[in-house]
Each structure stands twice: as C-alpha cells, then as structure tokens.
Amino acid sequence: MSIPSDPNLATSSGELPIIEACLDLIRWFVPLLQRLPRQHRFGLGDRLIGHLYHLLEQLVQARYARAKLPILEPLKAHIVVIQLQIRLLHSFQLIELQRYEHASRLITAIAKQHSGWLSHQLQQRPAELHHA
C-alpha cells in the first residue's frame, strides 16, 4: 500500500486509505479473535479487539478534526501495542504462522500510513504557525 501524497485523499468508498485498512483488519481479525480459547478470548482477545476499535475511532476523529496532531501523535504507541499483542497471539500458539504474518502485514501497512499522515501534519504545522 502506498501513501498518497495528500493523506486526505479518499478511496472510491469515500474513506481514507488508512481507515479502509483498519476496517479490513477488523473485518478479518475480529471473527478469528472471537474463536480463541476461553482463557485467552476474554483476556488478550478482548483487549486486542478493544484496541482495534479504539484505533478506528481515533482515525475517524483525526480525519474530521481541525487539529489532527493531538489525535495522531498518541496513536503511534497504540499501534505498537497492537503489534505486540499480535506477536503474543503467535507466541502463545493461538494463531498459525500464516495468520500471524497476514495480521502483521495489515497492521504494518496501517503503521506506515499513520507515519506518513503524521509526517504530513508535522510539515503543515510550521506553515500554520506563520499564518496565524
């Protein structure tokens, strides 16, 4: 997935590519997480699902917010937590290698798009300060 030069460009569905990528991850991953063994489903599974939905909510808020940086900056750590939780699923042998690799690719694509969006916003900030 490439990052558009303007992160605000929407896809044909009308959503930003990063939001579409997050929706794809949730659609693919949540049903799998809901099938985890009971002792993991109500711990790691529920926490990971909560983090995924929180990520989606924050991305949507950032899309429509005038001040995007206060929303986007903390998401880096949030994405890292999701990556680590996915790694734990594989370490605990709760998902096969192929599913781990697929989930890792999806969250890495989101991380790259987030990084590009954040960089774009940081570049815009000095221009906004000079015009104020």
pLDDT in tens, 38-71: 999 899 999 999 999 999 999 999 999 999 999 9
Return the closest-CA partner of residue 85 out of 47, 41, 117, 131: 47
Label residues 41-61 b or e (16+ Cβ within 10 Å = b).
eeebbeebbeebeebbebbee
Instruction: State which amino acid sits at residue 79.
Output: I
Report the chain's C-alpha Rg in angstroms. 16
The reported pTM is: 0.84
Q: What residues contact residue 125 under an 8 Å CB cut-off, 6+ apart?
A: 69
Indicate the range of 40-44, 87-91, 96-100 predicted with least confidence. Answer: 40-44
Question: Class assignment of domain 17-131?
Answer: mainly alpha
Q: How far apart are CA 7 and CA 1, in angstroms?
A: 13
